[in-house]
Amino acid sequence: MTNTTSSHIKHIELILKLTARCNINCSYCYYFYGADSKWTERPKRIDEKTLNDTIIFLKESIYKYGISSIQIDFHGGEPLLYGKKQFEQACDLFLNALSDIVNLKFAMQTNAILIDDEWITLFKKYQVSVSVSLDGPPQINDQYRIDHQNKGTYHKVANGLQRLKNAVQNMEIPNISTLAVINPHASGKMVYRHFVDTLGLKHMDFLLPGFDYDTYQVNDLPLYGDYLMDVLNEWITDNNPSIKIRLFGAFVAKLYGESTFMFPGERFESKNAIAITIDTDGMMYGDDSLRSNQAWNHYKALNISEHNFSTFIATEKEWFTQNIKTPIACQNCIWVDMCGGGHLENRFSSKNGYHNPSIYCDSLQRIYQQILHFLIDSGISFDHLNKHVPV
């Protein structure tokens, strides 16, 4: 593990939970249906005091530790439920307090259903980078992304997405992206082609579900690799540099020796960046997606009103040191320096904790190998690739 200290960190990605409620009812949601069942006890919305506590926390990190850039990712629940007036006030609070002393950016993960012209105006005013959760065309998306009446959400999401696309075309807001949770029984090719050809999207990400050794379906595991290979082959065939897929792009960047995140769990191990999640009650966490695992109930969270940046770093480091090591099964793997064992939430088991390779190991290795072959076939010199790459 990288010897991370607060003095090395220059970038903070702050996942700020504006709400602890959602206007839809996705059956796979890690926040509402993961191991963390305490969401019902949290405030429905983050309050102004917690926002001000967050600002104090961030200011201390800037002045004392030289943080140079901060991205605030507005999350939920569904962040648009926070309300327009409250959202505007929150953005103004952060801008007034931080914009003169740090490079500050805003982003949001949303289902886009509530987006209207007034939201577009706010996204323009604060230059919010918006990512929309959508799993594919209606027959795929609406299997799991349903509302509280068990009805599909695709068409409502598509309406909000169109408003965002129009704003991008008018150069009002930054490029938008989509985040699709992989359905192993769906066609990755169909989803990719729908995003590119039907919706005209250029930026996308594909998320492996938050299953672990206690919860996965063994017969489904090879299908995740099939899905990702379909997406990868379509992406390669298109050969369009303007189409960005985060998972593939991050791997290519690592091949070139860049310090980037393949999986959220890496963020603490990076020498210069860290992710911090703040819930509506002010409790702070590292990798928010670990809510999927039963070990979450033993995770030591800190309240932002009571603890500073250095205490958070020390607590996270202690937790990682005690719980996270390179799995024995990964130590002789040719991809270990690239992958590190995979996303933490997919490594957990009640028996071994996080001391396992990802349940998706075989699927990920297929992707790594295919991307490497593509780069070599494209004439990329071995000298330009990371010294740890098995070429």
Q: What is the pLDDT of residues 80-109, one digit of tens each?
A: 999 999 999 999 999 999 999 999 999 999
Q: Supply the pTM of this predicted model.
A: 0.92
Summary mean pLDDT of the chain: 90
In angstroms, how far is CA 263 from the centroid of its own chain? 8
Name the nearest CA neighbour of 289 among 104, 127, 73.
73
Q: What does each C-alpha distance from 248 to 18, 229, 368 come to in angstroms?
A: 30, 11, 9
> Which three-class secondary structure string do you get for the chain?
CCCCCCCCCCEEEEEEECECCCCCCCCCCHHHHCCCCHHHHCCCECCHHHHHHHHHHHHHHHHHHCCCEEEEEEECCCHHHHCHHHHHHHHHHHHHHHCCCCEEEEEEEECCCCCCHHHHHHHHHHCEEEEEECCCCHHHHHHHCECCCCCECHHHHHHHHHHHHHHHHCCCCCCCEEEEECCCCCCHHHHHHHHHHHCCCCEEEEECCCCCCCCCCHHHHHHHHHHHHHHHHHHHHHCCCCCEEHHHHHHHHHHCCCCCCCCHHHHHCCCCEEEEEECCCCEEECCHHHHHCHHHHHCCCEECCCCCHHHHHHHHHHHHHHHCCCCHHHCCCCCHHHHCCCCHHHCCECCCECCCCCCCHHHHHHHHHHHHHHHHHCCCCHHHCCCCCCC
pLDDT at 36: 67
Mean pLDDT of 124-131: 99
Query: 22-31, 32-41, 101-110, 150-159: which range is least confident on average?
Result: 32-41
Mean pLDDT of 160-168: 98
Mean pLDDT of 58-84: 96
In sequence order, what are the beta bridge partners of 275? 13
Query: 162-171, 224-233, 292-301: which range is least confident on average?
Result: 292-301
Say how far apart CA 193 and CA 200 lie, in whole Å. Answer: 9
Name the nearest CA neighbour of 287 among 330, 328, 323.
323
Task: Give the whole-number percent of the chain exceeding pLDDT 90.
Answer: 71
Contact 80, 22 (CB under 8 A): no
pLDDT at 388: 55
Query: 180-194, 220-234, 311-325: which range is least confident on average?
Result: 311-325
Say how far apart CA 263 and CA 267 lie, in whole Å. Answer: 8
Q: Kindly list the domain boundaries of the chain, sorted by start residue.
A: 11-322, 325-384
Let me know if domain 11-322 sits in CATH 3.30.2270.10: no
Range from 236-250, 260-274, 332-346 that averages highest in pLDDT? 236-250
- Quote the tokens at residue 240: 């369009």
Q: What does each C-alpha distance from 336 to 68, 254, 330, 368, 390 come to in angstroms?
A: 30, 12, 6, 11, 10
* 88 compared with 260, residue with greater pLDDT: 88
- Hunting for tokens 């995979």 — which residue is that? 342
pLDDT at 287: 73
Q: Give tens-digit pLDDT for 332-375.
A: 999 988 888 998 889 999 999 889 999 999 999 999 999 999 98
Band (2; pLDDT cuts 50, 70, 90): very low
Strand order across the 69-75 sheet: 244-245, 203-207, 177-181, 128-133, 103-110, 69-75, 11-17, 273-278, 283-285, 302-303
- Hunting for tokens 């807001």 — which residue is that? 173
In this predicted structure, the answer to whether residue 1 has a pLDDT above a threshold of 50 is: no
In this predicted structure, the answer to whether residue 308 has a pLDDT above a threshold of 80 is: yes
